[in-house]
Structure 1
Amino acid sequence: MARALGIEVKSATLRPRISGQLQRSPDSPSGFRIRVNRHEAATRQRFTIAHEIAHYLLHRDYIGDGIEDSILYRSTLSDAREAEANRLGAQLLMPEKSVIRVLREYGGIATPEIARIMAERYDVSEVAMGIRLGLG
């Protein structure tokens, strides 16, 4: 998706507790670049990229020198904008209609075990899937 939007994605060593960064980049077709912390789990990196894409789609007019997001989902943006980016990032990786359809394949009741299975299927963390399923 980032490629389709013309956003360059780079793996980088970022400061402790920083998962990702969206910043202006004159070298990128979109004018923006995402840097993702290479030291975090692959599933975390996927969510971070989706979260930063959400910032790009929703908040790029607010970006000055860049947005940094920590593992606590905090940045220089308001909590409301962070929540928006989290919701859209989750929707990009785990579309609601798809999650409901797959959950029905497993009996329609969300449990920690079903969350684990579905997390693997969607290539997201168990925590992210658990939240998506309303478990935590």
Structure 2
Amino acid sequence: MLTSKEWRQLSAEQLETIEGFQQSYPVKVGGLAKAFGLRVLLKPLPAKISGEIRPSTESEAGFDIGVNRFEKNTRQRFTIAHEIGHFLLHSHLIGGGITDTVLYRSRLSNRMEAEANRMAADILMPAKLIRKISSDLKIPLTEEFVDEFAEALQVSVQAMKIRLGV
């Protein structure tokens, strides 16, 4: 459960902001977006679209995150974190906007989508919070307890399995 290499691309201020939201679980990802000056909007997006980040004159950072209102809460949380990842890592490439499909594919390269996915996982499931949950709930970091970790962090079981490497 190492932190991804993408963290090295962030400024000290950005890291401090993220870490401030990782003191308790689940990570308040909407609050984190707001702390970066992003506005999060639940929208009726097409079925195969999970989210988007678009230029906006109404948010402090100049971008809005749109999230498909019809998807599960765990999916919406990951989408917000994924779009925050695009903002932090690829803001110079957003241009007129980035729309991500349910497989987190967009006009950006597969490498950039993978970077945003790793950043989202690091934001929502930091190693220190996983260890804290293990301690608080008195459960080991094993596949047997993936559901408990996923529920505590409000992420999907699949995302939690990937994060734990099980």
Normalised to the residue count of structure 1, the TM-score between the two structures is 0.92
| Residue 127 of structure 2: aligned partner | 96
CA distance in 2, matches of 1:81, 1:33: 19
Report the counterpart of residue 162 of structure 2 in structure 1: 131
RMSD of aligned alpha carbons: 1.3
**How far, CA to CA, are the matches of 2:128 and 2:34 in structure 1?**
24
Q: What's the counterpart of residue 26 of structure 1?
A: 57
What pairs up with 1:43-82 in 2 under 5 angstroms? 43-82=74-113
Identity %: 49
Question: Could you tell me how far apart the structure 1 residues matched to 2:158 and 2:116 are?
Answer: 17
Number of residue pairs aligned between Structure 1 and Structure 2: 133
Task: Give the aligned partner of residue 36 of structure 1.
Answer: 67
CA–CA distance in structure 2, aligned partners of residues 6 and 131 of structure 1: 30
Shift of 1:73: 1.3
Unaligned runs of 5+ in 1: none
Shift of 1:130: 1.0
Residue 83 of structure 1 is matched in structure 2 by 114
Matched, 1:6 2:34: no
Distance across 1 between alignment mates of 2:96 and 2:140:
47
Post-superposition Cα deviations, 1:79-103, rounded to whole Å, max 9, x if no partner, equal: 0000000000011010023224534
Deviation, structure 1 residue 40:
0.2
Return the structure number with greater relative CO, CA threshold 8 A, min gap 6. 2
Q: Which amino acid aligns with 1:38?
A: R
CA contact (8 A) 2:133 2:152 kept: no
